[in-house]
Amino acid sequence: MKKNSLILLMFLFPLFTMNHSFGADGSFHLDNAKIDLDDQQSLQRGARNFINYCLNCHSANYMRYNRLQDIGLSEDEIKKNLLFTADKPGELMNISMDSVEAKKWFGANPPNLTVTARSRGKDWIYTYLRTFYVDDSRELGWNNLVYPNAAMPHVLWELQGTQVYKDNHLSLLKAGILSEQEYDQFVLDTTNYMVFMAEPAKLVRHKIGYFVLGFLVILLILVINLKREFWKDIK
């Protein structure tokens, strides 16, 4: 009985001693980004968010604007609403910011975001964009729980508002344009789009997969009926 109790205690002890904000390795706990690549409305909102707020400093030059047709946007919609840094939908998502000037302003060149969802993961992006807080010790006045001392300021502060970090807890100091739920959805849509952007062919593979599964089901039915027809006179 004592042995069983000791084993149970060994499993339960980490649960009682775990910090609710930080994991055992000292990294900040990442929230689950419940993305849905089949939600075209979310992907379209995310594309709008990304192009309006991220593509000013960060490039995504492994991605072409015309790939947005894969998420249900027409070429005319892309030209009218999203084509700010290029002349044609077939062009790459580049930015006009000079790399030398960017390094002077931010201390480092803003990274290319095309495949960040693959290198960092969806949960990292989702949590990162929600955990900025005011830090007067930083040159730009901002810090982040997921990526401490990041050079990036909180460009979405007008939407989210300003947060402070005290006693291992984030709290809202000043409300933004969006409510907490609306801002979380804004970030989720943006994350959803960045996951799509990191591997646009995934949507095509999903569609092909459905056709293949449908074909296999039909083939299975035909094979079963053929077998029955072949063996019906054999006893």
The single-letter DSSP state of residue 22 is B
Query: Is 172 strand, coil or helix?
Result: strand
Q: Are 189 and 42 in contact (CB under 8 A)?
A: yes
Predicted pLDDT of residue 221: 87
Buried b (16+ CB within 10 A) or exposed e, 6-34: eeeeeeeeeeeeeeeeeeeeeebebeebe
- How confident is the model over 6-29, as pLDDT tens digits? 333 333 333 333 333 444 344 689
Query: Contacts by 202-207 with C-beta closer than 8 Å and gap 24+?
Result: 202/37, 203/37, 203/70, 203/71, 204/70, 206/37, 206/38
Give, in order, the Cα–Cα distances in Å from 7 to each of 1, 2, 13, 15, 52: 10, 9, 10, 14, 54
pLDDT of residue 217: 87
pLDDT at 9: 37
User: Residue range 211-219: average pLDDT?
Assistant: 81
CB-count burial class (<10 Å; 0-12, 13-18, 19+) for 79: middle
What pLDDT, on the 0 to 100 scale, is given for residue 206?
Answer: 65
pLDDT given at position 11: 37
**1/178: higher pLDDT:** 178
| Torsion angle in degrees (nearest 10) through CA of 48, 51, 53, 59 | 160
Euclidean distance between CA atoms 192 and 48, whole angstroms: 12
Domain boundaries defined on the chain = 28-199, 207-235
List Cα–Cα distances, 12 to 3, 9, 23, in angstroms. 14, 5, 16
The interaxial angle of helices 40-49 and 180-198, nearest 10 deg, is 90
pLDDT digits (tens, 9 = 90+) for 50-74: 999 999 889 999 999 999 999 999 9
The pair of three-digit structure tokens given for residue 162, joined into one six-digit string? 């300003």
3 pLDDT tier (thresholds 50, 70, 90):
very low
pLDDT tens, position by position, 169-189? 999 999 999 999 999 999 999
d(CA 6, CA 132) in angstroms, rounded, equals 42
For 174, phi then psi, to 5°, come to -145, 130
* CATH code reported for the domain at 28-199: 1.10.760.10
CB 95 within 8 A of CB 59: yes
What does pLDDT average to over the chain?
A: 84
Global pTM reads 0.76
